Amino acid sequence: MNTASLSIVPMVLGPVQTNTYLVADTESRVAAVIDPAWDGAAIVREAERREWRITDIWLTHAHFDHFAGVGGVAQNLDAAPRIALHPLDWPLWQLRGGAAWFGVPTFDPGPPPNVELEHGMQLALGTLEFEVRHSPGHSPGHVMFYCAGQACLFSGDLLFAGGVGRTDLPGGDWETLLASIREGVFSLPDEVQVHPGHGPSTTVGRERRTNPFLVD
Ligand SMILES: [Zn+2]
Ligand SMILES: [Zn+2]
């Protein structure tokens, strides 16, 4: 019998209140950090408290507020983690995630990504599987992580509860963003839980019915 289940610890970190998600397969106690926003040492402590072992860092995109904690996480782990990013956001990573656009002083970006994400790729976390969904519009290499078995989606800055990601930063595009939401999110069942990069969680059905940016 497969008793694996997903445990999700949300942490709000950094200067722009970014959601970092520490996610683990409770069976194998293997964990990934989705978007370590800031304060990597605190993220690792949170995992240690639960006796989880962080092996992976998965980035939805390379704005600074989604990866400024990578260095701190890596420094506090015994083994170097896999760090996954879509290659279309690599130029943004090299610009330190556009931190200067926000007046944020430069920071240690930590080790560079060493896994290239691509659309449709499956990421394993213990016995759980997450599907990579390329979803440009907010940034060119933005992706979401979808765990069908646990009916949840980590939507980064593509879609928020009652909102959508901004498209005015370099590489952003409104029509592309709408297409990504239609194809990448609204193709999923209503009951899927959506965990965004900022603000509270929601569901696919609630956003389909009530998101003011998306209802006709
Ligand atoms: Zn962003
Ligand atoms: Zn963000």
CA 36 to chain centroid: 8
Contact partners, residue 101, CB within 8 Å, separation at least 6: 169
- CA 144 to centroid of ligand 1, rounded, Å: 12
Q: How confident is the model at residue 118 (pLDDT cuts 50, 70, 90)?
A: very high
Among 143, 166, 167, which residue's Cα sits nearest to residue 155? 143
- CA 167 to centroid of ligand 1, rounded, Å: 9
Q: Which ligand is nearest to the CA of 14?
A: 2
Contact partners, residue 29, CB within 8 Å, separation at least 6: 50, 51, 52, 53, 126
- The neighbourhood of ligand 2, an ion, using CB within 5 A, equals 65, 157, 197
- Find out whether 130 and 144 touch, Cβ atoms under 8 Å: no
- pLDDT tens-place string over residues 122-169: 999 999 999 999 999 999 999 999 999 999 999 999 999 999 999 999
- The neighbourhood of ligand 1, an ion, using CB within 5 A, equals 63, 157
- CA 3 to centroid of ligand 2, rounded, Å: 33
- pLDDT tens-place string over residues 27-81: 999 999 999 999 999 999 999 999 999 999 999 999 999 999 999 999 999 999 9
First to last CA, the chain: 44
